Structure 1
Amino acid sequence: MIYLDYQATTPLAPEAREAMLPWLGGPETMGFANPHSSHRPGRAAAAAVEVARADVAALLPPGGRVIFTSGATEAINLALRGSGARRLAVSAIEHAAVLDTARAIDPDLAVLPVDPAGLVDPLAPLPEGIDLVAVMQVNNEIGTVQPVEAVAARARSAGTLVLCDAVQGAGKCAAPPEGADFIALSAHKLYGPKGIGALWVRDGVPLAPIILGGGQEGGLRSGTLSPALAAGFGAAARLCKTLWESDRLHVEKLWGIARDAFADWRLNGSADTRWHGNLNIRLDGLDAGRLLSECRTVAISAGSACASGSGRTSHVLRAIGLSDREAKSALRIGFGRYTKVEELEEAAAAINAAARAQGVLD
């Protein structure tokens, strides 16, 4: 099986796995200790958590603090609910974690349109009375990189808070943009373990907890932290900093190969302003669901993993102007650090062969 679904999750980096092992030990190692305990094993676990926190913070702008959460969904909920915002605006292509939470808070949610490339207009005025605007860094379905800094500058001049979902960008393409008040991350999207994420909060921005119980994470996120997950997250973040340039060059090489291999397919999203580890393409008349079923040697997607099986047409593809029929002919191919050139070439041949079998590719 060739894995090309890096937007859904990335492989766990061997270095992250190794960093986790000491904190998964048995009674003889004391690595299982609760990091919130005051005895020596507990303090050792707490120290590992703080090292990890510093490593994650190194991916983010200065002037803020990192709060560990169970993942980006919780981080987003903490930002949106804990900020106290009541009138919200979000881009039309935000992840469901943002859209669904925002709608629960503000049924009259303002949705900012995007152009056919998937870009928000940074010069468009925000609706009046908005408390918080959410614009993601890199879209999880089409890879478009949003002008978050420009949007944030306009929002901040109006006294409006800004949330940036940086799940698909942090540690991979560029540092999360300056100007946001909240930035959400997920470890398993940057070669770390599942089950842990983080919310970066700008210094001085008030935030109330949404989970109560023990007062952990500075009173903002109660619950016992996992030193193992934190250590894996920190190691993955540290590795991203170390391999930033080599990862980028590898992805650019893969992008060129993929674009040549799928030259007869139409690109969804911006051709220029995008993360090149995400290739979203379509063919008129293609049954993407059938192709996924028949192309069994390749792990790819027809959209967001979070919406898989829902039967709904992608709201992202609809937002950039595609019809339901066009949206259902789209595939998302994701690659990254551990993708081999020969794997991508073999997968492209299999995907093209499956499309030809449907009579939609010459």
Structure 2
Amino acid sequence: MKLPVYLDYAATTPVDPRVAKKMAECLCLEGTFGNPASKSHIYGWQAAEAVDIARGQIADLIGADTREIVFTSGATECDNLAVTGVALANRGGSRKKIITSAIEHKAVLDPCHYAETLGYEVVYLKPNADGLVTPEMLEEAIDDNTLLVSLMHANNEIGVVQDIGRLAEIAKSHGALFHSDCAQSAGKVRIDVSTMPVDYLSLCAHKVYGPKGIGAFYVRKGAPRPNPVIRGGGHEMGMRSGTLATHQIVGMGEAFALAKSEMKQENMRIEGLRNRLAEALLSLPETSVNGTMNSRLPGNLNVTFRGINGENFMLALRNIAVSTGSACTSASLNPSYVLKALGLSDADAHSSIRFSLGRFTTEEEIDYAIGVISEEYLKQRKLGSLWKV
């Protein structure tokens, strides 16, 4: 067993060796290394074909048409295209409201703050104690002045999965556009845009055993095109200029293809390990789970260890790699804004740890983690290493 045990799959996943093999074939002279935009020779043709295959693999996972997939640098860029791009494209329009939630990723919240400087009203829905944004909440906030609704499919900290199909239906009934950040859910939760009336989806590879630095933006045929965030060359239907990174795109395509073929079996195994971990940790004194367990990613568990300093506790777990929240805000000393939105106190938010399991997590690792975590938690409580507000 390799130490430290990695239980931070929500931050990023290791590249699957099968994906790495496909990527390596695109890097050398003997492989598909060419520029997909080079139309005058076989090296460019081969690269373009590899990109087309990957585009099809990505579209296939979500039930889309290949012409609805735009390659980007990752889900953050997709989120910016969806929020900033749509806001800029509609500056002269009559609809001036954007609806999102208080627990979105910063890649959505920060563009929403920017949209406010452009004159848009942004409504931040507060989820219920289970972490869910209900259809009733959206119905109460939406009106015919609403341009865009942006609600994530699965939360990166608490793993709660929203009913984006139903929420998108409400948006469409009011003539609003609908976007969902699916960085965490793709490959773990079924997504079918043929039955979900969404206009835009954000996808990335590194949460599903593909490489970092590559993402895909789903734009439904007929949906308004966002203003491009990156210009210069007219690549990707004019929505995202820049030379296509063939090796990363091929890696994303292979990762999505593997996810589609293995999702059901993999989810069952991972959920079983997650439940084993949950049963043990929640049997400890004054612990509780954050977010509903009924609609949740199979590998996510966010636990409050009440009464201790979460940062000190996490540092004491030297041989277990976990986090107190999103990797994008891990440098902040502030309590998680996601947990605060669920109603947790500063002390309880500071005392919460996210465990996220994945494809390479083993039963041996979970049993080891249970033993180490339980021993350290009980030790810190006995010594009185309490969080002082």
Q: CA contact under 8 A between 2:84 and 2:114: conserved in structure 1?
A: no
1:3 counterpart = 2:6: yes
Q: Structure 1 residues 359, 80: CA separation in 2 closer, same or farther (over 3 Å shift)?
A: same
Task: Report how far residue 123 of structure 1 moved.
Answer: 2.0
Contact 2:142 2:174 in 1 (8 A): no
- 2:124 corresponds to: 111
Q: In 1, Cα distance between the equivalents of 2:254 and 2:142?
A: 41
> What is the match of residue 210 of structure 1?
229
The 3 A distance-change label for structure 1 pair 127 and 361 is farther
1:267-278 mapped onto 2 (5 Å cutoff): 267-278=289-300
Q: Whole-Å Cα distance in 1 between the matches of residues 239 and 276 of structure 2?
A: 45
Matched, 1:292 2:314: yes
Which of 53, 68, 72 does residue 69 from structure 1 map onto? 72
Matches of 1:30 and 1:236, distance apart in 2: 19
Aligned residues: 360
- SS of match in other structure, 2:355: strand
Pairwise mapping of residues 38-49 of structure 1 onto structure 2 (< 5 A)?
A: 38=39, 39-49=41-51
Question: Shift of residue 276 of structure 1?
Answer: 2.3
> What is the aligned partner in structure 2 of residue 33 from structure 1?
34
Pairing of 1:2-151 with structure 2 (within 5 A): 2-25=5-28, 27=29, 29=30, 31-38=32-39, 39-62=41-64, 65-83=68-86, 84-85=89-90, 86-107=96-117, 108-124=121-137, 125=139, 126-128=141-143, 129-151=145-167
Q: Which residue of structure 1 aligns with residue 203 of structure 2?
A: 185
- Alpha-carbon distance change, 205 to 361 in structure 1, aligned in 2, over 3 angstroms: farther
Letter in 2 for 1:117: D
- Contact kept? 1:166, 1:176, Cα under 8 Å: no
Question: TM-score scaled to structure 2, two decimals?
Answer: 0.89
**Unmatched runs of 5 consecutive residues or more in structure 2:** 91-95, 385-389
Once superposed, which parts of structure 1, at least 4 consecutive aligned residues long, lie more than 3 Å away? 61-64
Structure 1 residue 23: Cα displacement: 0.8
Q: CA deviation at 1:106?
A: 2.0
Is structure 2 residue 345 aligned with structure 1 residue 323?
Answer: yes
Post-superposition shift, 1:279? 0.1
SS in 2 for 1:163: strand
The 8 Å contact of residues 168 and 197 in structure 2, kept in 1 or not, is answered as yes
Asked if 1:249 corresponds to 2:268, the answer is: yes
Deviations 1:235-260 (A, max 9, x none): 00000011111111111211221122
Aligned-residue sequence identity (percent) comes to: 40
The range that moved more, 98-107 or 351-360, is 351-360
Which whole-Å CA distance do the structure 2 matches of 1:59 and 1:242 have between them?
A: 9
TM-score computed with the length of structure 1 as normaliser = 0.96
- Displacement of 1:87: 2.5
Q: Call closer, same or farther: CA 1:105–1:291 in 2, change over 3 Å.
A: same
Give the RMSD, CA atoms, in angstroms.
Answer: 1.6
Structure 1 residue 357: deviation in Å? 2.0
Check the 8 A contact 2:74/2:216 in 1, yes or no. yes
- State the alpha-carbon separation in 1 of the partners of residues 165 and 33 from structure 2: 41
Deviation at 1:361, TM superposition (A): 10
The answer (yes or no) to whether the contact 1:117–1:270 under 8 Å persists in 2 is yes
Q: How far apart, CA to CA, are the structure 1 residues paired with 2:280 and 2:304?
A: 13
Residue 218 and residue 174 in structure 1: after superposition, are their counterparts in 2 closer, same or farther (change >3 A)?
same
Q: How far 1:56 sits from its partner (Å)?
A: 0.6
Equivalent pair of 1:16/1:236 in contact (CA under 8 Å): yes
Superposition deviation, residue 324 in structure 1: 0.8
* Aligned residue in 1 for 2:387: none
